[in-house]
């Protein structure tokens, strides 16, 4: 039985792969075999280390040595020095950009500190269906501390001092919200957890509820104590069956332990939590619409004020916070507001969870301190663009956000910076686009989402977004004029300016930001009737390259609308007026005789 | 279950559980068991984590390996689901990506039994708080 | 309370806390345009969904524009109502609304009386730059109301009327986004819903999306038919409102001109529903006394309170929602149907015309009356007692079409015998009027004494639910009054739970009673118009020489010549009815 003494891990992610890590892998294996070390040392390829910028990477286990930018030429030295003599190859070690010193143990590398899991602290670590494991990780300690050692005012102050802002998108200071709700006099108040996560591609709330439901329950109870509510409601979309199951289990366990219910931990404080199911309407993430939905009314927003803090569920003061916001609360009490506010930027404290999606290597859920740059998120944590393509834009904030480009990559991510850049934090969706993406089509995609999800209550959102969508469609079909672009600009601004709720007020953002950053692309569609990324079907033109065509008839035989004519062994011809741009001829032609323009 | 009535109860309980978890984290004790955590969030389940978990539970029993298989939440490596974290006593936890039944079998046979690392390891790329 | 100071267009205005920007602006005569907003002051109804966004204004320090109708003033607020940003936004919003609205104003029933049209004209819209798909829906025609939702602008005033005011709960927003619209559940037709046809939705609809079924052309055809004798009756509330359609001040009584116009239109006999109202008092008043006396003598089978039954919207309402209480309302038919029955039997006989050749047209402030005259029990061998019910608005349209200069007409008198009425018949048009008229007669019949003071001020007013005690020579009668079906529901719930202390209750479906009916000239939510109409009604009553129904000489004659006595056999046949449990109708339709 072989028992390896050492492992050499070679990154085989797409990024490193592009920088020839597979050759490196083979060379290392050969070198080890050559020196007859194959029984002691194992060389294997691993998933992406997320550090593609410095690839290819070789990691040595057990001493955690982290070699960067390793070339095939370095193989001999690594084996001779490190594997055989146990001396690290200094020049290949990761160099800390601040201290300029080589880092010998990867655990101390800055890169690994780029992600900091606070809201996700227990996700992937504890069994979410076992309350004991949560308690073992300081679970319910914050609730105990708040209930028995703090007044509601002190507790609210702690949240205020932490600088925590709402993670649902708006970024309203959480402590302030609690305080306002506390100050309203009423016989009954409610704590509502907004788990109506609806941004396309966003799933951080679901993951928290699935991976660490107790942290949300604990936070809701703390909030209840602070604002004077004995009742909590989780508004969760019915499409999240697993999260619902885990929440139910968690609530049951908490009640059995007496951590929810009457006289929690002997404090005299009572708190119950119930679930309410939403049908998955995006607008129900807006807090007034959410409340109406819980009341059994049509899920549509109403004008604020009155804010839910004053008149919310059943007309009672109601504090609505998002899942991720709540997940931060217990940590703030366990580690202190000061600790929490030490993380992040001046006005945005703590971390933010993002769902990385799109043309990025490491699609997934990440949590980074506020102030991390987009570049770090996309290229270091996210492992860069798929297939080594060129980065074009990143959409943050879901359908309410905007597209940010190359020039924004070094902007530290926080609420205010994103807003200033023409996008927003939103709930944390982050969709990466590469050179193949047409920005008009991207704007159209997001707008089609808003058009579908508009509740229809106010004119600008109901009709304005529809018209905006129709104009975008006209552009992608080459039927729009430059004048239309001006109209779109005006219409977008009016929709932002006059819509009733956050959905409408932000819905033109994808259009405005793509128009601001990629106006050339719009012009290309409108003036030249061309889609620079060749994504807009209607603007494509399939043509026969006469000198390549041998008249094999493959294209004509497979054309679904029979718009290709030509005799056998003669040059073929495509009737543009009938062509539906399906691309079948292009696929079928073995002689590169079809051109796409 | 007994109710936790006071803060002292809660703290006591935490210490009990913590000591268990600490054992799991450090795993210095050679008699300790192999710990396997399967990421069972929606993304994991959708890509087959349930089958993997069922397989592993069954395989450990049949093959006489003293191991604890638990479910956990999303580790964040959605591109590589299903993901499984394996902690062999005395070693650092290792996360494997793209684990199907075949891969799980390999993990048991090679990594857990013989300590041979396999391809498809996902390097942990975050810090978490204590 | 401390006043709040705000600055609107560089004018400082002091307002009470809670005042909206819209209200504050109106205090200083700045007229911010609105569309979805609706304020029925005295009924406590303020509809301000903030949906249309026409009333947006700029508030300094606010990121986006604020809807004036829904934004409350705060101290020191600085507001601009017509700067370039506001004007552009408002214009764009209007262009958007118009881009999803059929441009067929010339053919629209609401043309000239359409809030959308008025506002668009005021804003000088000349083109619609945002063209695109229009949302279209199936047209829905019921016996009384037509829904053409292509014209709906989602102001949702109808929804507020139907749900909050009337608690009928038929119309509400369905679908989402661009296709959202107000409709009965599952987009069923109105006649497959619990709609009472009260017409309050029609009365408040700012566009032509909700209109009454138009019967004017059928009426013209009958007027032109030499073989037909066409008789017309006009409801009391019509005379207090018709003038508004001709530019007269609200509250102008036009009884004489109304008669003159109807005669010019070619009606062979111009009669008055007020006559039938007097007849109603005879029947309903007698029924009340009978029930009351039985009750007082200890008869446990007699149900009190007795409810009035003149209002077809109300009748529909309890047939749908209170089918367990069908024995509580009076069995007396409404004045419209009493008139129809008397005209087609007594009068037809009298002038020797066959029933089939007598056409009865009624002019009503109401759209439910259109439905009422189609009810099967009010016809003989398929020939209805009342052939057509025209709304006040439809009559105005007929008069205009006939080139009649209404305002210059000389006053004329109703024909006899069915045109003679008392002040008691007139006040049927206002909330509280029916019960007041009933008391004037019941008092004298019950006590045998002459009623010296016929004005019962305690029964009048515009409060939604009113109650009063009337002394019947030692016997204290407890009276309840409700107008608006939401208020009616409250009283009905009390009765159901055995909590009601009343002997008699008057209920009218429409807020204000018939003067605020769904067929009246549109008051666009201005409750001062309702008040003026109400004043006019009581003015007409005060000017009448006879003010008690039982003193109407032609009523006396009718009983002598034809009916015998109130609640007699013929009365029972012609003037009373029974009610149906409609709560299962919808389930049957479903199956």
**CATH code of the domain covering residue C118:** 3.30.70.20
Is C377 in the active site? Answer: yes
Tell me the pairing of strands C358-364 and C388-391. Answer: parallel
Whether the predicted pLDDT of A282 surpasses 80: yes
Nearest to B129 among A121, A124, A210 (CB): A121
Residue C591 belongs to some domain of the structure? no
**Domain match, A332 and A223 both:** yes
Residues of chain C with confidence (pLDDT) below 50: none
**Domain match, B104 and B64 both:** yes
**Domain match, A259 and A142 both:** yes
C484: its two tokens: 């608006």
Nearest to A451 among C53, C96, C177 (CB): C177
Spatial CA neighbour of C344 closest among C271, C255, C428 = C271
* A chain contacts of residue C65, beta-carbon cutoff 8 Å: 497-498
- Chains adjacent to C (≥3 CB pairs closer than 8 angstroms): A
Residue B81 belongs to some domain of the structure? yes
Among chain A residues, CA nearest to C134: A463
Q: Measured between CB atoms, does A140 come within 8 Å of chain B?
A: yes
**Domain match, B89 and B110 both:** yes
Q: Which of A408, A434, A460 is the last residue of a domain?
A: A434
A593: its two tokens: 């005789």
Q: Taking each helix axis from N to C terminus, what angle separates A439-453 and A465-476, rounded to the nearest 10 degrees?
A: 150
**Domain match, C266 and C133 both:** no
**Domain match, A317 and A357 both:** no
Residue A532 belongs to some domain of the structure? no
Tell me the pairing of strands C78-80 and C56-59. Answer: antiparallel
Q: Are A500 and C67 inside 8 Å of each other by CB? A: yes
Is C3 in the active site? Answer: no
Domain tally for chain C?
Answer: 3
Instruction: Tell me how far apart the alpha carbons of residues A75 and A4 are, in angstroms, rounded to a whole number.
Output: 19
pLDDT band, very low/low/confident/very high, at A1 (cuts 50, 70, 90): very low
* B chain contacts of residue A240, beta-carbon cutoff 8 Å: 42
**Domain match, A385 and A503 both:** no
Is C450 in the active site? Answer: no
**Domain match, A195 and A324 both:** yes
Alpha-carbon distance B52 to nearest alpha carbon in chain A (angstroms):
16
**Domain match, A218 and A85 both:** no
Q: Which of A402, A434, A466 is the last residue of a domain?
A: A434
CATH code of C77's domain: 3.10.20.740
* Three-state DSSP class for residue A328: helix
Question: Which residue segment(s) compose the domain that B6 sits in?
Answer: 1-26
**Domain match, B58 and B9 both:** no
* C chain contacts of residue A504, beta-carbon cutoff 8 Å: none
- Residue from C162, C198, C310, C510 carrying the catalytic annotation: C310
Residue A344 belongs to some domain of the structure? no
Segment A109-130 mean pLDDT? 82
Exposure of B129 by Cβ count < 10 A (0-12 exposed, 13-18 middle, 19+ buried)?
middle
Whether the predicted pLDDT of A374 surpasses 50: yes
B103: its two tokens: 């891969």
Q: Which of C27, C50, C82 is the last residue of a domain?
A: C82
Residue A449 belongs to some domain of the structure? yes
pLDDT given for residue B115 in this prediction: 81
Q: Measured between CB atoms, does A300 come within 8 Å of chain C?
A: yes
Residue C154 belongs to some domain of the structure? yes
Spatial CA neighbour of A43 closest among A34, A33, A53, A55 = A33
Alpha-carbon distance B49 to nearest alpha carbon in chain A (angstroms):
13
**Domain match, B93 and B118 both:** yes
B109: its two tokens: 């046979």
User: How many Cβ contacts (< 8 angstroms) between chains A and B?
Assistant: 187
Instruction: Tell me how far apart the alpha carbons of residues B110 and B108 are, in angstroms, rounded to a whole number.
Output: 6
**Domain match, B22 and B39 both:** no
Q: Measured between CB atoms, does B46 come within 8 Å of chain A?
A: no
**H or E, element range at C400:** helix C392-401
Instruction: Tell me how far apart the alpha carbons of residues C402 and C114 are, in angstroms, rounded to a whole number.
Output: 23
pLDDT given for residue A57 in this prediction: 83
Q: Which of C26, C54, C82 is the last residue of a domain?
A: C82
Among chain B residues, CA nearest to A328: B129
A292: its two tokens: 């109406």
**Domain match, C176 and C259 both:** no
Each residue's pLDDT tens digit, A502-523: 899 999 999 999 999 999 999 9
Beta bridge partners of B87: B35
What radius of gyration do chain B's Cα atoms show? 16
Alpha-carbon distance A534 to nearest alpha carbon in chain C (angstroms):
26
Residue C285 belongs to some domain of the structure? yes
Nearest to A298 among C99, C129, C172 (CB): C172
Q: Which of B2, B6, B10 to mutate to probe the A interface, most A CBs <10 Å? A: B10
**H or E, element range at C467:** strand C465-472
Residues of chain B with confidence (pLDDT) below 50: 26-31
- Residue from C194, C212, C284, C436 carrying the catalytic annotation: C284
Cis before A22? omega within 30:
no
Whether the predicted pLDDT of A88 surpasses 90: no
Decide which of C461 and A46 is more confident. Answer: C461
DSSP annotation string for A536-563: -GGG--EEE-TTT-----HHHHH-TT--
Domain tally for chain A?
Answer: 5
For residue A61, CA distances in Å to A23, A82, A91, A106 come to: 20, 11, 18, 10
CATH code of A231's domain: 3.40.50.11540
Q: Are B85 and A259 inside 8 Å of each other by CB? A: no
Residue B72 belongs to some domain of the structure? yes
**Domain match, A319 and A355 both:** no
Spatial CA neighbour of A193 closest among A95, A318, A296, A283 = A318
**Domain match, C561 and C539 both:** yes
**Domain match, A247 and A374 both:** no
**Domain match, B106 and B66 both:** yes
**Domain match, A446 and A426 both:** no
**H or E, element range at C56:** strand C56-59
* A chain contacts of residue C85, beta-carbon cutoff 8 Å: 497
Q: Are C96 and A460 inside 8 Å of each other by CB? A: yes
**Domain match, C271 and C124 both:** no
**Domain match, A144 and A233 both:** yes
Backbone φ and ψ for C454, nearest 5 degrees, come out as: -90, -10
Instruction: Tell me how far apart the alpha carbons of residues A345 and A415 are, in angstroms, rounded to a whole number.
Output: 10
Q: Are C176 and A467 inside 8 Å of each other by CB? A: no
Instruction: Tell me how far apart the alpha carbons of residues C295 and C303 are, in angstroms, rounded to a whole number.
Output: 8
**Domain match, C235 and C183 both:** no
Residue B53 belongs to some domain of the structure? yes
* Three-state DSSP class for residue A61: strand
Question: Which residue segment(s) compose the domain that C72 sits in?
Answer: 4-82
**Domain match, B37 and B94 both:** yes
Segment A411-422 mean pLDDT? 91
Backbone φ and ψ for C138, nearest 5 degrees, come out as: -70, 145
pLDDT given for residue A90 in this prediction: 87
Each residue's pLDDT tens digit, A540-561: 889 999 999 999 999 999 999 9
**Domain match, C143 and C239 both:** no
Q: Measured between CB atoms, does A496 come within 8 Å of chain C?
A: yes
C-beta atoms surrounding A314 within 10 Å: 11
Give the number of C-alpha atoms closer than 13 A to the C-alpha of residue C440, restricted to the C-beta side.
31
pLDDT given for residue C306 in this prediction: 93
Q: Which of C195, C213, C231 is the last residue of a domain?
A: C213
Question: Which residue segment(s) compose the domain that A555 sits in?
Answer: 541-596
Residue C582 belongs to some domain of the structure? no
**Domain match, B66 and B8 both:** no
Domain tally for chain B?
Answer: 2
Q: Are C64 and A305 inside 8 Å of each other by CB? A: no
**Domain match, C338 and C390 both:** yes
**What's the angle, vertex CA B50, arms to CA B44 and CA B54, rounded to 5?**
145
CATH code of A571's domain: 3.30.70.20
Q: Which of C73, C157, C178, C206 to mutate to probe the A interface, most A CBs <10 Å? A: C178
Is C372 in the active site? Answer: yes
* A chain contacts of residue C83, beta-carbon cutoff 8 Å: none
**Domain match, A278 and A139 both:** yes
Is C80 in the active site? Answer: no
pLDDT given for residue A52 in this prediction: 66
Tell me the pairing of strands A542-544 and A564-565. Answer: unpaired
Beta bridge partners of A192: A233, A320
Residue A343 belongs to some domain of the structure? no
Helices (H), A196-240: 204-211, 213-227
DSSP annotation string for C506-532: EEESSTTGGGG-TTSPP-TT-HHHHHH
Q: Measured between CB atoms, does B115 come within 8 Å of chain A?
A: yes
Instruction: Find all residues with CB under 8 Å of C53, minimum gap 6, and list them.
Output: A458, A459, A460, A498, A499, A500, C65, C67, C89, C93
Residue C387 belongs to some domain of the structure? yes
Q: Measured between CB atoms, does C59 come within 8 Å of chain A?
A: no
Q: Of how many residues is chain A composed?
A: 597
**Domain match, C291 and C438 both:** yes
What radius of gyration do chain C's Cα atoms show? 25
**Domain match, B16 and B49 both:** no
pLDDT band, very low/low/confident/very high, at A14 (cuts 50, 70, 90): low
**Domain match, B17 and B62 both:** no
Q: Are A50 and B74 inside 8 Å of each other by CB? A: no
**Domain match, C49 and C154 both:** no
**Domain match, C268 and C365 both:** yes
pLDDT given for residue C20 in this prediction: 95
C469: its two tokens: 């005690």
CATH code of A451's domain: 1.20.1440.230
- Residue from C257, C369, C370, C548 carrying the catalytic annotation: C369
Residue A345 belongs to some domain of the structure? no
- Residue from C104, C164, C187, C377 carrying the catalytic annotation: C377
Each residue's pLDDT tens digit, C533-574: 999 999 999 999 999 999 999 999 999 999 999 999 999 999
Whether the predicted pLDDT of A39 surpasses 90: no
Q: Are A141 and B17 inside 8 Å of each other by CB? A: no
Residue B129 belongs to some domain of the structure? no
Contact yes or no for C8/C24 (Cβ under 8 A): yes
Contact yes or no for B118/B96 (Cβ under 8 A): yes
Backbone φ and ψ for A537, nearest 5 degrees, come out as: -50, -45
Instruction: Tell me how far apart the alpha carbons of residues C187 and C141 are, in angstroms, rounded to a whole number.
Output: 13
What is the maximal distance between C-alpha atoms in chain A? 92
CATH code of C419's domain: 3.40.50.1780
**Domain match, B47 and B4 both:** no
**Domain match, C354 and C483 both:** yes
pLDDT given for residue A109 in this prediction: 63
Instruction: Find all residues with CB under 8 Å of C376, minimum gap 6, and list them.
Output: none
Residue A118 belongs to some domain of the structure? no
- Residue from C142, C193, C330, C527 carrying the catalytic annotation: C330
**Domain match, B2 and B51 both:** no
Q: Measured between CB atoms, does C51 come within 8 Å of chain A?
A: yes
- Chains adjacent to A (≥3 CB pairs closer than 8 angstroms): B, C
**Domain match, A517 and A467 both:** yes
**Domain match, C276 and C361 both:** yes
Give the number of C-alpha atoms closer than 13 A to the C-alpha of residue C337, restricted to the C-beta side.
28
Instruction: Find all residues with CB under 8 Å of A483, minimum gap 6, and list them.
Output: none
Q: Which of A434, A466, A490 is the last residue of a domain?
A: A434
Q: Which of C86, C137, C177, C182 to mutate to probe the A interface, most A CBs <10 Å? A: C177
For residue A104, CA distances in Å to A65, A96, C185 come to: 5, 10, 70
For residue A597, CA distances in Å to A213, A519, A540, C455 come to: 53, 21, 6, 89
Residue C590 belongs to some domain of the structure? no
Which strand ranges, in their side-by-side order, compose the sheet holding A391-396?
A: A364-369, A351-358, A429-434, A391-396, A403-405
Q: Measured between CB atoms, does B71 come within 8 Å of chain A?
A: yes
Exposure of C443 by Cβ count < 10 A (0-12 exposed, 13-18 middle, 19+ buried)?
buried
């Amino acid at each position: 039985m072989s028992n390896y003494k050492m492992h050499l891990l070679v990154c085989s992610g797409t990024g490193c792969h592009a920088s020839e890590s597979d050759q490196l892998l083979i060379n290392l294996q050969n070198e080890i075999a050559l020196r007859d070390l194959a029984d002691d040392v194992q060389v294997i390829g691993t998933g992406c280390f997320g550090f593609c910028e410095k690839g290819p990477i070789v990691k040595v286990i057990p001493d955690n040595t982290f070699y960067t930018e390793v070339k095939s030429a370095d193989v001999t030295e690594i084996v001779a020095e490190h594997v055989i003599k146990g001396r690290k190859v200094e020049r290949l070690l990761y160099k800390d950009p601040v201290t300029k010193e080589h880092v010998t143990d990867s655990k101390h590398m800055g890169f690994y500190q780029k992600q900091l899991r606070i809201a996700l602290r227990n996700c992937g670590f504890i069994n979410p269906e076992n309350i004991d494991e949560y308690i073992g990780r300081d679970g319910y300690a914050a609730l105990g501390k708040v209930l028995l050692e703090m007044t509601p005012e002190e507790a609210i102050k702690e949240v205020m001092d932490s600088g925590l802002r709402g993670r649902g998108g708006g970024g309203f200071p959480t402590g302030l919200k609690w305080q306002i709700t506390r100050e309203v006099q009423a016989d009954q108040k409610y704590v509502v957890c907004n788990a109506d996560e609806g941004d396309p591609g966003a799933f951080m709330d679901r993951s928290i509820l699935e991976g660490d439901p107790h942290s949300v329950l604990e936070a809701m109870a703390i909030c209840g104590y602070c604002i004077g509510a004995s009742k909590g409601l989780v508004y969760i979309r019915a499409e999240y069956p697993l999260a619902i199951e885990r929440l139910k289990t968690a609530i049951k366990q908490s009640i059995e332990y007496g951590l929810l219910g009457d006289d929690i931990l002997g404090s005299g404080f009572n708190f119950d939590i119930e679930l309410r199911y939403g049908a998955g309407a995006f607008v129900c993430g807006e807090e007034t619409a959410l409340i109406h939905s819980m009341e059994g009314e049509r899920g549509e927003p109403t004008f604020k004020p009155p804010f839910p803090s004053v008149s919310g569920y059943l007309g009672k003061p109601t504090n609505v916070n998002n899942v991720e916001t709540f997940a931060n609360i217990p940590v703030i009490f366990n580690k202190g507001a000061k600790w929490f506010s030490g993380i992040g930027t001046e006005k945005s404290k703590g971390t933010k969870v993002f769902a990385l999606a799109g043309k990025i290597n490491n699609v997934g859920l990440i949590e980074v301190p506020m102030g991390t740059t987009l570049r770090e998120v996309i290229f270091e944590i996210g492992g860069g663009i798929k297939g080594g393509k060129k980065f074009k834009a990143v959409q943050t904030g879901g359908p309410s956000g905007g597209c940010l480009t190359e020039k924004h990559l070094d902007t530290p991510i926080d609420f205010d910076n994103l807003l200033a850049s023409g996008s927003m934090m939103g709930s944390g969706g982050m969709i990466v686009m590469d050179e193949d993406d047409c920005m008009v089509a991207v704007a159209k995609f997001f707008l089609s989402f808003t058009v579908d999800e508009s509740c229809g209550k106010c004119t600008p959102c109901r009709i304005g977004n529809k018209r905006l969508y129709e104009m975008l469609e006209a552009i992608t079909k080459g039927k729009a004029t430059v004048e239309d672009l001006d109209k779109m600009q005006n219409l977008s601004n009016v929709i932002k300016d006059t819509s009733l709720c956050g959905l409408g007020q932000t819905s033109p953002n994808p259009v405005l930001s793509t128009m601001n950053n990629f106006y050339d692309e719009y012009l290309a569609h409108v003036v030249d009737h061309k889609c620079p990324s060749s994504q807009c079907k209607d603007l494509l033109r399939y043509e026969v390259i006469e000198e390549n065509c041998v008249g094999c008839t493959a294209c004509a035989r497979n054309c679904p609308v029979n718009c290709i004519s030509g005799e056998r062994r003669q040059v073929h011809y495509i009737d543009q007026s009938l062509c539906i741009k399906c691309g079948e001829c292009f696929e079928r032609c073995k002689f590169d005789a079809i051109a796409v323009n | 279950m007994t109710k936790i009535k006071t803060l002292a109860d809660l703290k006591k309980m935490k210490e009990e559980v913590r000591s268990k978890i600490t054992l799991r984290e450090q795993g210095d004790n050679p008699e300790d068991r192999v710990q396997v955590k399967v990421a069972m969030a929606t993304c994991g389940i959708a890509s087959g984590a349930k089958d993997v978990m069922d397989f592993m539970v069954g395989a450990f029993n049949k093959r006489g390996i003293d191991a604890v298989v638990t479910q956990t939440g999303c580790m964040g490596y959605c591109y590589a689901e299903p993901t499984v974290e394996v902690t062999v006593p005395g070693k650092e936890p290792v996360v494997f990506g793209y684990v199907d039944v075949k891969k799980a079998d390999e993990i048991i046979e090679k990594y857990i039994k013989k300590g041979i690392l396999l391809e498809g390891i996902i390097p942990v790329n975050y810090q978490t708080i204590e | 309370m401390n006043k709040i100071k705000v600055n609107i267009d560089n004018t400082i205005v002091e307002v009470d806390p809670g005042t909206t920007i819209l209200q504050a602006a109106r205090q200083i005569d700045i007229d911010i345009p609105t569309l979805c907003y609706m304020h029925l002051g005295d009924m406590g109804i303020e509809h301000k969904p903030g949906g249309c966004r026409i009333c947006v204004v700029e508030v300094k320090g606010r990121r986006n524009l604020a809807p004036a109708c829904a934004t409350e003033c705060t101290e020191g607020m600085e507001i601009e109502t017509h700067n370039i940003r506001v004007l552009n936004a408002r214009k764009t919003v209007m262009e958007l609304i118009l881009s999803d609205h059929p441009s067929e104003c010339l053919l629209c029933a609401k043309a000239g009386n359409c809030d959308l049209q008025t506002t668009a004209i005021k804003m000088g819209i000349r083109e619609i730059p945002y063209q695109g798909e229009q949302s279209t829906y199936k047209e829905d025609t019921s016996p009384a109301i037509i829904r053409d939702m292509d014209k709906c602008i989602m102001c949702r005033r109808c929804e507020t009327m139907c749900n909050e005011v009337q608690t009928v709960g038929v119309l509400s927003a369905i679908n989402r986004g661009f296709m959202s619209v107000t409709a009965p559940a599952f987009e069923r037709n109105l006649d497959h819903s619990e709609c009472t046809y009260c017409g309050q939705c029609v009365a408040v609809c700012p566009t032509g999306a909700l209109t009454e079924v138009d019967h004017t052309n059928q009426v013209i055809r009958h007027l032109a038919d030499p073989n037909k004798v066409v008789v017309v009756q006009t409801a009391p509330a019509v005379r207090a409102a018709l003038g508004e359609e001709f530019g007269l001040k609200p509250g102008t009584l036009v009884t004489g001109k109304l008669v003159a116009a109807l005669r010019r239109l070619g009606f062979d006999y111009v009669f008055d529903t007020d006559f039938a109202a007097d007849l109603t008092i005879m029947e309903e008043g007698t029924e009340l006394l009978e029930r009351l006396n039985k009750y007082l003598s200890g008869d446990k089978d007699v149900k009190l309170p007795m409810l009035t039954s003149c209002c077809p919207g109300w009748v529909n309402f309890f047939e749908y929602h209170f089918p367990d209480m069908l024995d509580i309302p009076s069995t007396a038919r409404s004045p419209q149907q009493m008139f129809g029955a008397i005209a087609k039997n007594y009068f037809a006989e009298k002038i020797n015309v066959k029933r089939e050749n007598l056409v009865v047209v009624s002019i009503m402030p109401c759209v439910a009356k259109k439905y009422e005259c189609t009810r099967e029990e009010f016809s003989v061998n398929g020939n209805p007692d009342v052939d057509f019910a025209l709304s006040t608005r439809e009559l105005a349209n007929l008069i205009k079409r006939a080139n009649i200069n209404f305002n210059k007409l000389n006053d004329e008198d109703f024909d006899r015998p069915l045109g003679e009425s008392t002040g008691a018949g007139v006040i049927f048009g206002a909330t509280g009027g029916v019960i007041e008229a009933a008391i004037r007669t019941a008092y004298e019949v019950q006590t045998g004494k002459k009623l010296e003071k016929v004005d019962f001020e305690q029964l009048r007013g515009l409060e939604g639910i009113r109650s009063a005690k009337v002394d019947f020579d030692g016997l204290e009668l407890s009276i309840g009054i409700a107008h608006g079906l939401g208020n009616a529901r409250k009283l009905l719930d009390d009765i159901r739970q055995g909590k009601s202390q009343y002997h008699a209750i008057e209920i009218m479906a429409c807020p204000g009673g018939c003067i605020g009916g769904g067929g009246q000239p549109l008051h666009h939510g201005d409750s001062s118009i309702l008040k003026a109409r109400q004043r006019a009604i009581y003015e007409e009553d005060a000017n009448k020489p006879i003010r008690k129904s039982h003193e109407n000489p032609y009523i006396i004659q009718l009983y002598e010549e034809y009916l015998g006595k109130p609640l007699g056999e013929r009365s029972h046949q012609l003037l009373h009815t029974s009610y149906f449990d409609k709560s299962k109708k919808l389930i049957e339709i479903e199956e």
